[in-house]
Amino acid sequence: MKGVTFKRKDLALGAAVGVLVGTGLLASAGPASANSTYWMKSYADGACLDASGGGTTPGTPVITWRCNGGANQEWYEQQDGYGRETLRNAASGLCLDISGASTANGASLILWNCNNGWNQVWDSKDPQWGGACYNFINPMTNHAIDEPGGDGTQAAAYNFWGGSNQVWCLNG
């Protein structure tokens, strides 16, 4: 995971500042700066992972929406208190969370206060789709971040099967 994280940081920051990757940018507190964030675009249709309505409060649904450059569509990685990777929304600093710590297939994804919970951990896996595209999988449930439909559809955690709707390309 560490190598993939650094690879993504290089892509987000550009080759000119790639040397900064190991300097702790991933562990910054609160919302990230624009230099360390990226959009997560669905490989299936190019829609972005989005905090609904620009929401910045716990419980805000995470949906897919056409990419518009808003901070509510920007994400960054940060380790939790156990050194595991979380995905945080740049507008709020809140974590991408499996609602209610559900282990059910199709559980809704929301923003929530970062709390070191297993339901906020997202390991990346290179699905061999090319470029900076990855699956993000919760190691406890083996559920991936999934785009079940088009614009306005709530993102969910579904059994990982590697389909294009579970592949997220990073652009920063």
Number of domains in the chain: 1
Computed on alpha carbons and rounded to an integer, the radius of gyration of the chain in Å comes to: 14
- CATH code at position 12: 2.80.10.50
pLDDT tens track, the chain, 172 positions: 333 332 333 333 232 222 222 223 333 333 444 458 999 999 999 999 999 999 899 999 999 999 999 999 999 999 999 999 999 999 999 999 999 999 999 999 999 999 999 999 999 988 777 788 999 999 999 999 999 887 889 999 999 998 999 999 998 5
pTM above 0.85, yes or no: no
- Domain range spanning residue 119? 2-171
